[in-house]
């Protein structure tokens, strides 16, 4: 492996690290807001991984903003369009989850998952 330490490799490792940190938070924390933050961190990792999957070294953004650009020197537009979707849907999920937490806090008076009756975890 001649390219073991390059740009893409570092980004892949970082995105997987973010995903793992997010999952660790979700598995171990008891505060509901922290669990949602963990979900967000994992989601950011996934988004970074998807964008870096379409990235090629020394290529430009896929916008023909000036003459003389050819398609061969551009990055892949499909993962970027996918991530555009994923970010918006992530926002919707986070907002809905937070409103559920607000509702739950009003009902039970606590954010601790282990103290809420009906949740076994």
Partner 1 sequence: MRKFFSLLLLLGFVFYISSIIGTILFHEDFFHAHNVGLQITENAVKQTGSINTITSVVVLYRGFDTLGEVTVLFLAALGISLLFASGKKEKNKIEDESFILKYGSRLLYPFIILFGIYIIVHGHLSPGGGFPGGVIIATGFFIILITSDFIKFNDKLLSVIEGFAGLSFIIFGLIGLFGQDNSFLANFLSTGVPGKIISAGIIPFVYAIIGIKVASELSGAIGTFTLVKQEGSKNE
- Tokens 């991530």 map to which residue? 83
CA distance 14 to 7: 11
Tokens of 89: 């849907």
Q: How far is the CB of 64 from partner 1 (least distance, A)?
A: 4
72 is a site residue for partner 1 (CB under 8 A)? yes
Question: Which listed residue (57, 58, 68, 71) binds partner 1 by CB under 8 A?
Answer: 71
Cβ 75 to partner 1, closest distance in Å? 8
Q: Strand, helix or coil at 112?
A: strand
10 binds partner 1 (CB under 8 A): no
* Tokens (6 digits) for 72: 């061969």
Q: In terms of Cα–Cα distance, which of 83, 85, 79, 36 is closest to 56?
A: 79
Residues forming contacts to partner 1 in the complex (CB under 8 A) are: 1, 3-4, 9, 12-13, 16, 19-20, 23-24, 27-28, 53-54, 56, 61-65, 71-72, 74-81, 84-85, 87-89, 91-93, 95-96, 99-100, 102-103, 105-109, 121
């Amino acid at each position: 492996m001649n390219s073991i330490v390059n740009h893409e490799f570092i980004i892949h490792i970082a995105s997987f690290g973010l995903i793992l940190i997010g999952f660790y938070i979700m598995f171990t924390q008891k505060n509901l807001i922290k669990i949602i933050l963990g979900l967000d961190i994992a989601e950011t990792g996934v988004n970074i991984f998807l964008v870096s999957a379409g990235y090629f070294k020394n290529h430009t953004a896929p916008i023909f903003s000036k003459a003389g650009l050819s398609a061969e020197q551009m990055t892949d537009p499909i993962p970027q369009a996918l991530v555009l979707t994923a970010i918006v849907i992530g926002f919707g999920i986070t907002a809905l989850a937070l409103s559920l937490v607000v509702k739950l806090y009003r009902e039970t008076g606590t954010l601790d998952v282990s103290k809420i009756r009906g949740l076994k975890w």
